[in-house]
Amino acid sequence: MADLSQFNPNAVGNPNNNIFGLPFTEDDARLVILPVPWEVTVSYGAGTSRAAEHVLKASIQVDLFDADVPNGWREGFYLRETNKKVLLKSDYLRKEAELYIDYISKGDEVEKNKFMCKSLKEINEGGLFLNQWVYDETKALLDKGKIVGLLGGDHSTPLGFMKALAEKHGDFGVLQIDAHCDLRKCYENFVYSHASVMYNALTEIPQIQKLVQVGIRDLCEEEWEYICNSQFRIITYFDKNIKERQFEGETWKHITEEIINHLPQKVYLSFDIDGLDRKYCPNTGTPVQGGFETEEVLYLFRKIKESGREIIGFDLVEIGVGQTDWDSNVGARLLWRICNLMVKK
């Protein structure tokens, strides 16, 4: 156990300690955060592969009092070091993907270019590697009895984690906060694209009973048809419809209760930060106007916990990296609140 007798939670954060300036080791911590530095298939803005190091730096400025969970930090939170080999692999394959995306965007045929065929093969093999690495890392932590959170990286990163959770917990549901459905099959011919993570999760993880998507405001016809043909395995709350209901007098409390009623007993939280209004995440990879206030999302998460459901894990992904580090500050504070919620009795 960590010795907290000399630790002052009211003092300035110590950068020599771990996330939020907390003096825990991985063994001491009840909750361990795995950074996944991966952004190979992002199709617009890049930078999120390095989000974890920026969030760590910003987290030192977060005050440790949370009125909802006043002593949550005493349970111990720990952020692992970024795996440099995974980051270097992401950087290499990202360059390959940029050339490939530029090539196909002009209508050129991949089959006629041996270099592009080789790149596509390497990128898809990279996705398999990443999924296995995340599975292995998170499974080992779950086997030790840790609560686990994942810090992206792009939204393709949590698939292996969800597979590890399925093995441990059996059936569960996914609550996805996002501007996008992420239900495309092999987007841009990338099997494990960030735009395909929920399609892949539903296809490869039969234990996912229900996917409830909230805040969606950008989708294609293929995704719409997939939702409509899902036999209610997917329930999608579009940002436009949520706001129209509120304009006409419904409260967020009422809508939140309806959302939660769709969820089974065990719930995984998948939080793409672009589900928020862009003022909170100006450098996220694929921004879309509209979206939530931070407290609306945190209210929903809190009400899930208060409903008696078990939150079995979470990811926080697509945090951008900008010159002012505003994205990282928002990400660090969201991570803080979610961590506290995860350890709340």
Residue 198 one-letter amino acid: M
Neighbouring-strand partners of residue 236: 213
Which pairs from 1-6 meet CB under 8 Å and 24+ separation?
Answer: 1/28, 2/28, 2/76, 4/74
Q: Which residue has the tokens 């930078």?
A: 47
Mean pLDDT per segment of 10 residues, for the chain of length 345 residues?
89 95 97 98 92 97 96 97 98 96 90 94 98 98 98 98 98 98 96 98 98 98 98 98 98 98 98 98 95 98 98 98 93 98 95
Helix runs in the chain, H state only: 51-59, 84-105, 114-143, 159-169, 197-204, 221-228, 239-247, 252-261, 294-306, 326-343
pLDDT the model gives residue 322 = 87
Q: What is the DSSP string of 88-111?
A: HHHHHHHHHHHHHHHHHHTT--GG
pLDDT the model gives residue 47 = 94
Antiparallel, parallel or unpaired: β 77-79 and 208-216: unpaired
Which tokens in the block code for residue 197? 């993570």
CA 330/CA 48 separation, integer angstroms: 14
Domains annotated on the chain, with CATH: 19-343 (3.40.800.10)
pLDDT the model gives residue 128 = 98
Q: Smallest Cα–Cα separation from 26: which of 13, 15, 36, 35?
A: 35
pLDDT the model gives residue 3 = 86
pLDDT the model gives residue 147 = 98
